[in-house]
């Protein structure tokens, strides 16, 4: 009952958060953005033609009328029509979501599976060479821009060594995707039994996935190290060592479990950022995900597309931290008490 009550309280917070995000995004996009009529009006267009285009796009009314109309549309789960694609924003987001999720899952798994062990290794070898090595790697991963790491990997493994495919999206140019089932190319290719296509999709994932994983593991490893160092200096760790428990049990069962709370908190924010679409990363690798969609919306002053993306990203963050709260209850018995 306590868990159900907590989940219900967090879900109720989605409504005011969504309302605030919608309001701020709506007015900021219109006040600070450009004029989307430039997409449709020829250079020699008259003021009368531009006024007709604005009326067709629903931009001729006062801002408060546009705002009320947008809220009414949202109540019907209508996110509007993209000025750039001419399609429903909801359909555009749904079509691009699997690409972002597939890339995000690969990057997040790499970051967790490599970052947490590296953080533990650095903590148990504090002020020795493994600690210095891990700290150097993580500091570089946090300091270097993500897009720069991606460009360096492209230069090395595609341009020079020719070991991996280039930044052309989820599949090589001219290769047809498998029949859509889940939207995840690896799963859809496996369901179709086309293992050649599966290998192509996996190879296309390597460079963007590793780039995302490197920047993720740097933050995860650094926070894990700091939390583990504090945990290993606690009295209960000294007691466990005095009782004769092995290093593995002391490090992972007693130390790491108590050090996971700040790591889980960090992962909530990281997951929200990753699954919200890594804008520059997707742009560099030609990845047809939500980040690239948002970048195109900004470039073309596409109000409807930008609002739909921001609303999706904000709700994703709320759900990510809801999951963090649930994991708190599972990890720390004090939270359940």
Q: Is the pLDDT of residue 277 over 70?
A: no
Average pLDDT over residues 171-197: 91
CATH, range 96-300:
1.10.3720.10
Torsion of the alpha carbons at 13, 292, 212 and 324, rounded to the nearest 10: 10
> pTM of the full predicted structure?
0.83
Q: Where are the domains of the chain?
A: 96-300
pLDDT at 313: 82
- What digits encode the pLDDT tens for the residues 282-306? 888 989 988 888 888 887 777 788 8
Average pLDDT over residues 91-115: 91
CA distance 27 to 63: 8
Q: Is the pLDDT of residue 210 over 80?
A: yes
Q: Which of 3-7, 179-183, 301-305 has the highest mean pLDDT?
A: 179-183
Long-range pairs, 280-285, Cβ under 8 A, ≥24: 280/146, 280/147, 281/146, 281/147, 281/150, 281/208, 281/211, 281/212, 282/100, 282/103, 282/208, 284/147, 284/150, 284/151, 284/154, 284/167, 285/150, 285/154, 285/167, 285/169, 285/207, 285/208, 285/211
CA distance 169 to 185: 12
- What digits encode the pLDDT tens for the residues 235-256? 877 887 787 777 777 777 777 8
């Amino acid at each position: 009952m306590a868990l159900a009550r907590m989940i219900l309280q967090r879900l109720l917070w989605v409504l005011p958060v969504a309302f605030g995000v919608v309001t701020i995004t709506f007015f900021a996009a219109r006040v600070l953005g450009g004029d989307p009529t430039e997409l449709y009006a020829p250079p020699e267009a008259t003021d009368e033609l531009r006024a007709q285009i604005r009326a067709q796009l629903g931009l001729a009314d006062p801002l408060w009328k546009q705002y009320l109309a947008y809220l009414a549309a949202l109540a019907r789960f209508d996110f509007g029509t993209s000025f750039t694609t001419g399609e429903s924003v909801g359909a555009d987001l749904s079509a691009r979501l699997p690409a972002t999720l597939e890339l995000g899952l690969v990057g997040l798994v790499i970051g967790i599976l490599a970052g947490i062990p590296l953080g533990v290794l650095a903590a148990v070898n504090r002020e020795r060479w493994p600690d210095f090595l891990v700290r150097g790697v993580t500091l570089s991963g946090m300091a270097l821009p993500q897009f720069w790491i991606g460009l360096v990997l492209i230069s090395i493994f595609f341009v020079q060594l020719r070991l991996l495919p280039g930044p052309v999206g989820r599949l090589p140019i001219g290769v047809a995707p498998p029949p859509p089932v889940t939207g995840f190319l690896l799963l859809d290719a496996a369901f179709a039994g086309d293992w050649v296509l599966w290998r192509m999709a996996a190879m296309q994932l390597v460079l963007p996935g590793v780039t995302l994983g490197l920047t993720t593991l740097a933050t995860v490893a650094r926070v894990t190290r700091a939390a583990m160092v504090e945990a290993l200096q606690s009295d209960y760790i000294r007691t466990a060592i005095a009782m004769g428990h092995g290093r593995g049990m002391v490090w992972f069962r007693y130390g790491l479990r108590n050090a996971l709370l700040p790591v889980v908190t960090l992962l909530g924010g990281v997951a929200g950022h990753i699954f919200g679409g890594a804008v520059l990363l997707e742009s560099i690798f030609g990845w047809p995900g939500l980040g690239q969609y948002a970048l195109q919306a900004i470039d073309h002053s596409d109000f409807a597309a930008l609002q739909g993306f921001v609303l999706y990203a904000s709700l994703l963050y709320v759900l990510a931290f809801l999951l963090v709260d649930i994991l708190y209850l599972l990890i720390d018995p004090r939270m359940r008490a």
